[in-house]
Amino acid sequence: MPEGSGGYGSPVQVRCEMYLIDISEVNDLHMDFRAMMYFRQIWNDSRLAYPNQPIRSIVLNDRNLIWTPDLFFFQEKEGIHHSLISPNTFIRITRDGEVRYSVRVSMTFKCPMDFTKYPHDIQKCDMQIESYGSTRDRLDLSWLNPVAFDKNISTVNFALKDVQESVNHLVLNSGQYASLQVSLVFKRKTGFFMIRLYAPFLILVAIRAVLWILPKKRKGKSMRKNDPETQNILEMDEKMNQVNGDSSISLVASRLKCDGKVYKRVDRICAFLFPSLFVIFNFVYGLMYCCGRQSK
């Protein structure tokens, strides 16, 4: 292990850079995501300096020829180091002993998710980089530049909205360790749910509203026999229960046996009351799940 820039006994200062090439999947079933990136580490090793030589820099492809930091990603579940044609590894050593080590890797990271606001949820996934065996008094970490990423990165269900980096210090039984953290903020795409869930709800309520308009004698078994069914999907209980409630009350009301005057009065009240309640519920629902998250 080389000496730190502060002399004997000082920690090696490792500066890191990251560029997110792609995020191929955000899996909310397994609670993980897969990312491809360039990860670069820069440090100084005085043992590799050659100030009196005319060569400006030396390029290596084998990391085993020199000392490299023992960094790892804490949330990693699995990963690969790309080497289909040739190992995607780049090492450059300059005259003053500065080493720049760059690799292209793909990894799957675990990401605990909160589905309280589903399908209007925003998920925050972390990537934590640490030294496996070198405490902070031997190896210190910092960011050289902010994490870069393609603004158009998105998956089938999520879009990457923001990337935040930070520097932390972990205190364990074996000592204090430097840690770098990258937080990815994903926003779920709601277009799919508008077509597959919300649109059928609106159609169902519209069909039920016809019950208040049709004459009582036409509300026979043929209509009730084929009533559409809905089922709960995760945290969308409020929405589905409201639609099912309106539908059930409509069906019960359609079977009431009343005289003509009472029946017409009930129809007039329900024709105004239930659509109004449906609009009010959707307005409150939209405020809670669409606008409320923006204040976070």
Q: How confident is the model over 138-196, as pLDDT tens digits?
A: 999 999 999 999 888 888 889 999 999 999 999 999 899 999 999 999 999 887 777 77
Buried b (16+ CB within 10 A) or exposed e, 188-214: bebeebeeebbeebeebbeebbebbee
Are the C-beta atoms of 85 and 109 separated by less than 8 Å?
no
**In this prediction, what percent of the chain has a pLDDT beyond 70?**
75
Are the C-beta atoms of 68 and 39 separated by less than 8 Å?
no
Neighbours of 290 (CB within 10 A): 12
Q: How confident is the model over 51-104, as pLDDT tens digits?
A: 988 899 999 988 889 999 999 999 999 999 998 888 899 999 999 999 999 999
**Sheet with 71-73, edge to edge strand ranges:** 71-73, 122-131, 175-188, 158-172
Measure the CA–CA gap between 98 and 144, rounded to whole angstroms. Answer: 14
pLDDT value of position 179: 96
Q: Where on the phi/psi map is residue 9: left (φ > 0), alpha (ψ -120 to 50), or beta?
A: left
Measure the CA–CA gap between 276 and 72, rounded to whole angstroms. Answer: 57
Q: How confident is the model over 228-277, as pLDDT tens digits?
A: 343 434 445 555 555 555 555 555 555 555 556 666 676 677 777 777 77
Give the Å distances, CA to CA, from 198 to 16, 208, 236, 272: 45, 16, 11, 22
Amino acid of residue 257: K
Please, which residues bridge with residue 205 across strands? none
Measure the CA–CA gap between 29 and 153, rounded to whole angstroms. Answer: 20
Please report which confidence band the pLDDT of residue 36 belongs to, taking 50, 70 and 90 as the band edges.
very high
pLDDT value of position 224: 38
